[in-house]
């Protein structure tokens, strides 16, 4: 029986373990997880009965294999969840599916709404041309946006940076309003310093021209358009947040005989020529080692290479230079929000119906905020009387923000909530909880432009497979991370040595949802 070592119990690592064990009895699987929980950045934190989703995770995929996998783990709802029942809202039901009020193993269907908060006003995300948008921007600004975009049609920029990418698609005026400051806040770098590849991957099909097509599409409605739009008006979501899926997956892995070792940090990989012989890990203050025939790694590729012996100097330099952005969030429990719900979407307490909101305000450091009540009614302990909000901040490990105490950071977030009008005063705050996530976002600058060289080197190690967001240093969604593991397991079972299919996930058009 071959021994398989899997590094990391996030979506990619746990998917790989489950797939191997469910498809073959020829592998002994051991998963090493640095923390004491499952799901990585897709985990759910339970604080006094109020649950936090680290980063906000919509479950939507164009890949049938992913959707089937989710359905197997968490069957789609067959009855409406609590808030839909109370409010008389509707959402998609699957005949014979479980009732969220009676069972926990269920995937909800939720209304999707994410907007931009700019100058204390809400704008659609992606930007849409409708009366409310023009009213919020003003006629003069709207005209400037239009002329700025027309100028880009004549004077196209060579796309050497993310700034060029955005300006070509939105014009300089809209770029300066909605992209420049937010992007710099997210990455800690000006868009002119970031590779356009990030935009090409994350902003597919969105531009002013796409918005104009959207307007025309609403005038000349077609059956096809209605079908396409319906796909992204709703998304799936576990009853208790994304971590529920991965806790369940971990349980299933153990039932099939897989071992999961928590609080075990892999620090070294023992390489002999083009083969990995095993790993060395730290647990309970001790350094331990284990041998293996196959290694599937979802750990940050920077740490992977650093912990490996016999790596050429130029490859080590690329890995050392790969940048990341870390993440801090504070959950704030409040009596009420000061934001007015001007939409037609009914909510409990008439709070704004957004899942998450992008904050475009140069006067604060806040990047986004989530309203957990809208993700799932089961995320909040006292749904009728409180609003559970997650404030998200981007930082670098060890910087001034990261080094704040939890109390200092929470105080910053609460002050900023008042400053931009999310709450009327600090007196409405009932409680808070702080979480930190290292290497949450692999970044596309510095030595990233040489990532191809690093990938080629890693592919020479016959029994090493790199999966997931950090394993490939690519800004993957959950389904993309899972797909890298699907492809890896297919290769292992078939004996294929060509790993291009694994690295090609999230580069091909069919992996991405359309933006309407």
What is the reported pLDDT for 206? Answer: 57
Which one, of 510, 485, 491, 500, lies nearest residue 69 by Cα? 485
Contact 155, 238 (CB under 8 A): no
156: Cα separation from own chain's centroid: 31
Top mean-pLDDT range of 178-192, 194-208, 491-505: 491-505
What is the reported pLDDT for 203? Answer: 63
Q: Name the least confident of 222-236, 279-293, 313-327, 425-439.
A: 222-236
Task: Tell me the CB-side half-sphere exposure of residue 227, using CA atoms within 13 A.
Answer: 3
6 token code pair: 């899997």
Q: Name the least confident of 199-203, 482-486, 504-508.
A: 199-203
What is the reported pLDDT for 343? Answer: 92
CA distance 18 to 252: 7
- Arithmetic mean of pLDDT over the chain: 91
Per-residue DSSP letter, 309: S
For range 52-81, the mean pLDDT: 95
Contact 188, 394 (CB under 8 A): yes
3-state helix, strand, coil in the chain (%, to 5): 40, 25, 35
What is the reported pLDDT for 126? Answer: 72
**392 pLDDT tier (thresholds 50, 70, 90):** very high
pLDDT for 516 beyond 90: no
178 token code pair: 């909605």
Asked if omega into 390 is within 30° of 0 (cis), the reply is no
Given phi > 0 = left and psi -120 to 50 = alpha, else beta, which region is 467? beta
CA distance 133 to 127: 8
For range 289-308, the mean pLDDT: 97
User: What residue spans of 98-207 are helical by DSSP H?
Assistant: 131-137, 139-154, 162-178, 180-187, 196-202
pLDDT tens by residue, 136-148: 888 888 889 889 9
329 token code pair: 């969030």
For range 229-246, the mean pLDDT: 83
105 token code pair: 């193993």
Residue position matching structure tokens 């796309």: 159
pLDDT for 514 beyond 90: no
Contact 64, 39 (CB under 8 A): no
pLDDT for 213 beyond 50: no
240: Cα separation from own chain's centroid: 17
More confident residue, 232 or 228: 232
CA distance 152 to 163: 13
CA distance 384 to 377: 10
CA distance 243 to 10: 9
What is the reported pLDDT for 202? Answer: 64
For range 49-78, the mean pLDDT: 95
Residue position matching structure tokens 């739009």: 229
Strands 50-53 and 107-111: unpaired
* The dihedral formed by the CA atoms of 24, 478, 52 and 19, expressed in degrees to the nearest 10: 0
Kindly report whether the global pTM for this prediction surpasses the value 0.85.
yes
What is the reported pLDDT for 218? Answer: 42
What is the reported pLDDT for 242? Answer: 97
**210 pLDDT tier (thresholds 50, 70, 90):** low
Provide the β-strand partners of residue 118: 121, 360
Provide the β-strand partners of residue 107: 76, 238
Tell me the longest C-alpha to C-alpha distance in the chain: 71
What is the reported pLDDT for 217? Answer: 45
Provide the β-strand partners of residue 12: none
CB atoms within 10 A of CB 222: 9
What is the reported pLDDT for 136? Answer: 85
Which residues have C-beta within 8 Å of that of residue 160, sequence separation ≥ 6?
Answer: 196
Which residues have C-beta within 8 Å of that of residue 329, sequence separation ≥ 6?
Answer: 52, 54, 55, 390, 391, 392, 393, 434, 435, 437
Provide the β-strand partners of residue 115: 124, 357
pLDDT tens by residue, 336-389: 999 999 999 999 999 999 999 999 999 999 999 999 999 999 999 999 999 999
**129 pLDDT tier (thresholds 50, 70, 90):** low
What is the reported pLDDT for 492? Answer: 98
Rg (CA), the chain: 23
Q: What does each C-alpha distance from 84 to 91, 108, 261, 422 come to in angstroms?
A: 8, 11, 40, 25
E strands, 119-224, are 121-124
484: Cα separation from own chain's centroid: 15
What is the reported pLDDT for 230? Answer: 31
């Amino acid at each position: 029986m071959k021994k398989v070592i899997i590094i990391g119990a996030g979506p990619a690592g746990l998917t790989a373990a489950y797939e191997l064990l469910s498809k073959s009895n020829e592998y002994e699987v051991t998963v090493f997880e640095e923390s004491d929980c499952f799901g990585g950045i897709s985990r759910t934190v339970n604080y006094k009965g109020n649950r936090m989703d680290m980063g906000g995770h919509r479950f939507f995929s164009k890949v049938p294999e992913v959707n089937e996998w989710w359905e197997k783990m968490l069957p789609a709802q067959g009855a409406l969840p609590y808030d839909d029942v109370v409010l008389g809202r509707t959402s998609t039901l699957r005949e014979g599916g479980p009732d969220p009020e009676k069972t926990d193993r269920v995937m909800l269907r939720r209304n999707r709404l994410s907007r931009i908060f700019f100058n204390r006003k809400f704008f659609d995300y992606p930007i849409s041309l409708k009366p409310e948008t023009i009213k919020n921007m003003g006629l003069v600004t709207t005209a400037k946006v239009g002329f700025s975009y027309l100028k880009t049609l004549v004077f196209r920029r060579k796309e050497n940076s993310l700034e060029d990418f955005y300006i070509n698609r939105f014009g300089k005026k809209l770029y300066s309003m909605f992209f420049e400051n937010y992007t710099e806040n997210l990455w800690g770098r000006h868009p002119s310093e970031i590779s356009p590849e990030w935009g090409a991957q994350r902003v597919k099909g969105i531009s002013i021209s796409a918005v104009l097509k959207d307007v025309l599409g609403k005038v000349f409605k077609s059956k096809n358009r209605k079908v396409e739009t319906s796909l992204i008006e709703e998304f799936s979501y576990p009853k208790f947040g994304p971590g529920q899926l991965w806790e369940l997956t971990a349980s299933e892995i153990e039932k099939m005989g897989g071992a999961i070792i928590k609080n075990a940090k892999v620090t070294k990989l023992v390489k002999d020529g083009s083969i990995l012989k095993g790993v060395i890990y730290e647990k309970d203050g001790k350094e331990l080692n284990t041998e293996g025939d196959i290694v599937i790694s979802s750990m940050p590729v920077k740490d992977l290479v650093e912990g490996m012996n016999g790596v050429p100097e130029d490859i080590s330099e690329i890995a050392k230079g790969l940048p990341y952005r870390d993440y801090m969030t504070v959950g704030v429990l409040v009596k009420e929000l000061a934001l007015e719900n001007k939409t037609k979407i009914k909510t409990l307490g008439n709070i704004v119906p957004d899942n998450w909101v992008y904050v475009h305000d140069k006067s604060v450091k806040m990047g986004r905020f989530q309203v957990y009540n809208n993700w799932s009614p089961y995320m909040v302990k006292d749904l009728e009387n409180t609003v559970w909000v997650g404030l998200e901040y981007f930082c670098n490990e060890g910087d001034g923000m990261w080094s704040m105490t939890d109390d200092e950071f929470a105080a910053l977030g609460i002050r900023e909530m008042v400053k931009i009008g999310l709450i009327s005063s600090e007196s409405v705050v009932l409680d808070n909880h702080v979480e930190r996530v290292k290497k949450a976002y692999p970044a596309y600058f510095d030595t990233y432009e040489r990532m191809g060289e690093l990938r080629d080197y890693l592919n020479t190690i016959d029994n090493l497979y790199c999966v997931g967001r950090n394993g490939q240093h690519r800004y993957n969604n959950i389904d993309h991370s899972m797909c890298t593991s699907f492809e890896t397991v297919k290769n292992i079972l078939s004996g294929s040595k060509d790993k291009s299919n694994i690295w090609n996930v999230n580069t091909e058009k069919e992996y991405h949802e359309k933006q309407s």
